[in-house]
Amino acid sequence: MSGEASRRAGSAEPGEDVLTMSDHTPEELHVARSHPVGTNGRPIRKDEIELSERGLYVESWMPERRSRRRPLLFIHGELTGSWIWERYLSYFASRGWEGHALNLRNHYWSETIDIATVGFDDYVDDVVAVMDKLGNNAVAIGHGMGGLLALKAAERHSVGALVLLDSELPRDLRSPVRAHALREIPDVYGRDHIGWETLPEKLHRDNRDLTIADIVRLQHLFGQKPHESGVAKREILEGIGIDRSRLAGIPMLVVGAGLDGTSSATGAERLADWLGGLYEPFGAHSHYGLVIGESSYQQVADGVRAFLESHRL
């Protein structure tokens, strides 16, 4: 167990059991059992998976009783971590799905490394490593960069379905990037690079579906120090190729944020058409409001749930 995980285990409340999970999870898991209450009042368990050989930490929320539903793998985008999925983890665990939120290398509780040379394929390796642990039937749910990571990982590993929330676009759907735009991306960047180093009130004007509390939490958890890979960002802008033939037959849901006609909504609709997937727009939602908004996330989660149930996942 890593030092960070040991500290987490050591901070467990007296009387909590530390044991291993079964069925969808490996024997070497370290689990701190607790019994919080989910969004619908049903008890859930908070667990964890550590891939110590890769320095990766996965936050897991489990239903109190086992079900036949597919496990959900949540893949975050730039600068975030498993924390951004907390509302989704609670929502789905309380409805019978086990949810596993990956922290990519150098993010949140995963091991700190020199991120300056880490590329997009390295992140894909992280996703595939967790897919290997969860088995061939997991549903991959990605947000932003995480959506593109889910697509690329699904070329290499069997998945039960793909859910892409305001995903970054693959190369075939991108316009050529200008050289100066690539030069402006530092090797390691933080929240200032994405426009989140400003007053919460100003951010609220552009993200009306988020509360001030949501925005302050996002700013805090983005962190003050830069920790995201500029190499991966440049590769995304230059274009990540996706082989659609390897994704044939996979049920897909593509969720768009923003009003019709905005670049985000238009991009999501084009992505759904290109993949042959189901498109569901949320015109009143911002990029982060899709997943973390106190008053906005549940509408999107309800849509994802309806998609899963329609495919008996």
For the ranges 36-40, 89-93, 158-162, the lowest mean pLDDT is seen at 36-40
Q: What is the DSSP letter of 40?
A: T
- Give tens-digit pLDDT for 97-116: 999 999 999 999 999 999 99
Confidence (pTM): 0.88
Q: Does the pLDDT at position 18 exceed 60?
A: no
Q: How far is CA 264 from CA 159, 255, 256, 292, in A?
A: 26, 10, 7, 18
Pick the CATH number of 3-175+242-308 from 3.40.50.1820, 1.10.150.20, 3.40.50.2020, 3.30.70.580: 3.40.50.1820
At residue 279, the 3 state secondary structure works out as strand
Q: What is the DSSP letter of 285?
A: -
What is the mean pLDDT of the segment spanning 3-20? 35
What is the mean pLDDT of the segment spanning 204-211? 94
The answer to whether the CB of 34 falls within 8 A of the CB of 46 is yes
Q: Which residues of 273-297 are buried (b: 16+ CB within 10 A; e: fewer)?
A: eebebbbbbbeebbbbbbbbbeebb
Q: What is the DSSP letter of 88?
A: H
Q: How confident is the model at residue 39 (pLDDT cuts 50, 70, 90)?
A: low
Give the pLDDT confidence score for residue 65 in this predicted structure. Answer: 86
Domain boundaries, the chain: 3-175+242-308
| Amino acid found at 15 | G
> Quick count: other Cβ atoms within 10 Å of Cβ 168?
25
Give the total residue count for the chain. 313
CA distance 182 to 10: 44
% the chain with pLDDT above 90? 81
CA distance 126 to 67: 27
For the ranges 28-37, 47-56, 224-233, the lowest mean pLDDT is seen at 28-37
